[in-house]
Amino acid sequence: MNARIGILLLVGVALLAIGGLYWVDQYMRYREAEAKRFSARDTAAIVRIDLVEKHADTVYAQLYLVRREGRWWVNDTLEAFTDPLRRLMKVLAGQTPRAPVAPTALQNTLRFIKDHRIEVTIHYADGKREEFYVGGPTPDQRASYMLKVGADQPYEVFLPGLEGYLTPYYRPDLSAWQENLVFQAVSADLQRISLTYFDDPAKTWTLQRPQPEAPWQLLPEGIPDSLRIAEYLLHYTGKFSADELASPDSLSGLLPLYELSLQTFSQQRFQVTIYPHRSSPLHYYLRIHHRPYFTYTISRSRMDTYVVPRSYFLRSPA
């Protein structure tokens, strides 16, 4: 009886040992596979992406992209451009290792990644996350060096079918990700438009109507040219975005030129103050007063179509 129990115990220990070795082997295989898997497990489940560019241990630039109710936002304040997000999602879904970095180049590559890298953190709806480092391009410019956090083997990672390396898709450059929205309005929804000329109040005007079907009224009172009003309203076709973000300090000491205010029947309000550019006669600064408060740069040729004087709308004498 004791001998039988001993044999059973030995068999049990052997099975446990075999099972343990099996699971250790499976875990090591999983770790090895995860160390070289750079594609997102499910791009549709991504709710946030953190991008932090570091030079050595110094943060050079950073931002995060967050998804709320199907829309992506930059740093929780500005709506993100659709095109770069689509490209990033395509990269995340398909990027794959081309080859591990060769042993002869391993130490140099690890040093390069440490000295200049973009730290990427992907957050999923279930609370899980994935982290990896993105380095510079390979010598042939067709892949980027990448390293999973916690791993010691970097890889050359590429996107099949793409000519070029992947690092630019991850750069946390705010101007490349944010939508520099000045206002969003279509002519059919506009209820009131006001333009203030700070240097010449006689050029200031307001267009308003009580209902979408009602004719426009020009203030101060005058005989408006309906054709001119219709031509002006053609510029309001939806989103109107500035060229790039500018420092709020850019406006220091500058006097405003114009102020454009819009009100829509859908209860939206936009207010933009326009300043001369400090160094370029071909550009303006824009100060956005509605949510959120930002300063932008825009070309005069794009903005001038909205800042016509009152005389533009007046009917010419017969």
Is it the case that residue 96 has pLDDT exceeding 80?
yes
| 297, 283 contact by CB (below 8 A) | yes
- Would you say residue 305 has pLDDT above 90? yes
User: In whole angstroms, what separates CA 58 from the centre of its chain?
Assistant: 23
> What integer pLDDT is reported at residue 19 of this predicted model?
60
| 40 close to 159: Cβ distance less than 8 angstroms | no
- The H or E element that residue 131 is part of is strand 129-137
pLDDT of the residue at 82:
85
The C-alpha atoms of residue 136 and residue 251 are separated, in whole angstroms, by 37
Mean pLDDT confidence for 35-56 = 92
**Contact in structure between 51 and 153 (CB atoms under 8 Å):** no
- pLDDT above 60 (res 32): no
- Among 150-164, 169-183, 226-240, 266-280, the range scoring the smallest mean pLDDT is 169-183
Per-residue confidence band for 13, with pLDDT thresholds at 50, 70 and 90: low
Bridge partner residues of 55 (DSSP): 58, 116
Residue 15 CA from chain centroid, whole number: 54
Residue 88 or 31, more confident: 88
Query: For 208-265, what is each residue's pLDDT tens digit?
Result: 999 999 999 999 988 889 999 999 999 999 989 898 888 888 999 999 999 999 999 9
pTM assigned to the model: 0.63
Q: How confident is the model at residue 27 (pLDDT cuts 50, 70, 90)?
A: very low
Q: Tell me the mean pLDDT in the region 172-180.
A: 83
Distance between CA 165 and CA 150 in Å, rounded?
23
Q: What pLDDT does 29 receive?
A: 53
Average pLDDT of the chain, as a whole number:
89
Q: Which pLDDT score is estimated for 11?
A: 64
pLDDT at 107 over 60: yes
pLDDT above 90 coverage of the chain, percent: 71
DSSP code at position 35: H
Q: How far is CA 247 from CA 28, 61, 116, 276, in A?
A: 50, 16, 26, 14
